[in-house]
Amino acid sequence: MKNIYLSLLLFMGLSLNTLAQEEMVLTLPDVIDLASKQSIDAFRNKNMYLASYWEYRFYKAERLPSISLSANPLDFNRYRNKEYNFETNEDEFRLREYFNSELAVSAVQNVTLTGGQVFLRSELGMVKNLGGDKKTSYNATPISIGFQQELNGYNRLKWESKIEPLKFEKAKKEFIQDMEDLRVTSTIRFFGLINAQIQKNIAEMNYANADTLYKIGKGRFQVGTVTQDELLELELRLLNNEQALNIAQLDEKRAQARLNSFLGLPKETLVKCIVPSEIPALQINPDEAISEAIKNNPEILGHQQQKLQQDENVAEAKSERGLNTTLFAMYGLNQSAEDFDQVYVEPDKSQRFSLGLNIPIVDWGRGKGRYSMAKSNREVALATIKQERIDFEQDIYQSVLEFNLQAGQVYTAAKADTVAKMGYDVTFQRFLIGKIDVIKLNIASNDQETARMSYLSQLRDYWAAYYRLRSLTLFDFEQRKPLVADYNKLLEN
């Protein structure tokens, strides 16, 4: 009775373990969809875009008026101060106590056209003497308006208005490109598991065949139709296939773990991959691919950004060579009174004008050196960009040619796989009836395995090349339209 209970517990444990291992049947589009939703790569791509988005929002906010409130509601000061007493004709220390309170509201607007700042400010202050006559005094600046401008020829805001929108547009394109690169990675991981699973299936079939052939060989050896050398070769084939099966099973588990980790699936999940049976009938025009890449690829925007940044560096270095002038002008109203209700009555005019100059007399050529260095760096950058553009277009052209040839490679490999399988089946049947020897059977088996793996390799290369072309051009050649992304959806979570 005890053995029955133990058997039941063991059976229940095995059943629960089987249920815990969820099995999923996935196609290549399924793997790509899962990767785009829950892989760590997709999470990283999303947050890299969001970082660029908030950087761009910060740039836009700098173009809007900033309004701030500053207050010092409580400032108590009690100290002794050295003062001259005219009555006694002596210096003496006197106790001073007062209470301060200040409030100010200011608004600042950056002026992109000139690079200066316009500001408005309103202030109110109160001083209460806590000793002596205990008088209270108020001071108010109802409004003051001012303008500050550097006249050195370099306008940071103007350059930012050219560069920052370009950077953000580049970030949007990079997000789409990263998602296409994720398709390439998904394809490689997908076919990695397919290869491992098929290798295991081939190893199981080879082991089963080798076991059958060895048993047949032993029977034939006893009747003298198979030599001892051939029997030993069959036994060796069986042992080798057993080892190959163990290795294939381990490789499948490793490939399964890599795919589960990549897709964010539980490690217990068993994924069965379905080999794509069809490929789209596509022949891509290289000139069209290059044209779409120039319009869409973020690398082209990166080249434009680099040119602008080099021009900005030259402009900044040039502005530091000579006269550096700052202009400051302000006009406002000001009044002070002992009664609060009088502090805003008939305020006086308050004006300020300032012109600052910074003239380098002797800098030992540092300004000229910085300017010359900036120009040289720009020339080097422009030459590099020109070369990168040539390499970029050549890469796309070569990738298109390779892709257009890859479809033919897939069809040829598929046909070779079919022929090799038929050849092995015929050879196997002929071996069973004793028409051929073990050597020819081994050759047919190896040919079948090689053809099968070659077909899968060509199929993987086709889809990886296709998604890489989409990544380079950001263009969907099947739907005949540029690739887009729902950026608003990224901001929802």
pLDDT tens for each residue of 41-70:
999 999 999 999 999 999 998 888 889 998
Nearest CA among 478, 28, 483, 479 for reference residue 282: 478
What is the crossing angle of helices 366-432 and 298-319, to 10°?
A: 170
Distance CA 430, CA 434 (A): 6
pLDDT tens for each residue of 437-453:
767 877 887 888 888 88
For residue 353, give the DSSP letter: E
Indicate if the pLDDT at residue 180 is higher than 90. Answer: yes
Give the pLDDT band (50/70/90) at residue 11. Answer: very low
| Phi, psi dihedrals of residue 236, rounded to the nearest 5° | -60, -40
Q: What is the pLDDT of residue 5?
A: 38
Q: What is the pLDDT of residue 149?
A: 86
Distances (CA, A) of 22 to 11, 221, 268, 434: 18, 47, 7, 46
| CB count in 10 Å sphere of residue 58 | 10
Buried b / exposed e over 184-202, threshold 16 CB at 10 Å, is: bbbbebbbbbbbbbbbbeb
Q: What is the pLDDT of residue 163?
A: 93
Which has the minimum average pLDDT: 4-18, 184-198, 259-273? 4-18
pLDDT tens for each residue of 76-104:
887 777 777 777 788 877 777 878 889 99
Give me the half-sphere count of Cα atoms (radius 13 Å) on the Cβ side of residue 293. 24
Q: Beta 23-26 vs 270-273: how paired, if at all?
A: parallel
Report the percentage of the chain scoring pLDDT > 70.
91
Indicate if the pLDDT at residue 109 is higher than 60. Answer: yes
pLDDT tens for each residue of 462-479:
999 999 999 999 999 988
Q: Name the one residue in this structure whose structure tokens are 């004008």.
A: 353
| Phi, psi dihedrals of residue 455, rounded to the nearest 5° | -60, -45
- Residues 157 and 115: beta-carbon distance below 8 Å: yes
For residue 58, give the DSSP letter: H
**SS3 sequence, 305-340?**
HHHHHHHHHHHHHHHCCCCEEEEEEEEEEEEEECCH
Higher-pLDDT residue of 332, 253: 253
- Residues 458 and 466: beta-carbon distance below 8 Å: no
For residue 446, give the DSSP letter: H
Nearest CA among 493, 420, 490, 489 for reference residue 450: 420
What is this structure's pTM?
A: 0.80
Indicate if the pLDDT at residue 291 is higher than 60. Answer: yes
Reduce the DSSP state of residue 341 to 3 states and report it. Answer: helix
The DSSP code sequence of 156-192 is HHHHHHHHHHHHHHHHHHHHHHHHHHHHHHHHHHHHH
The residue-averaged pLDDT of 274-289 equals: 87
89: left (phi over 0), alpha (psi -120 to 50) or beta: left
Q: What is the pLDDT of residue 355?
A: 64
| Phi, psi dihedrals of residue 293, rounded to the nearest 5° | -65, -40
Indicate if the pLDDT at residue 17 is higher than 60. Answer: no
| CB count in 10 Å sphere of residue 175 | 21
Distances (CA, A) of 424 to 244, 320, 399: 19, 80, 36
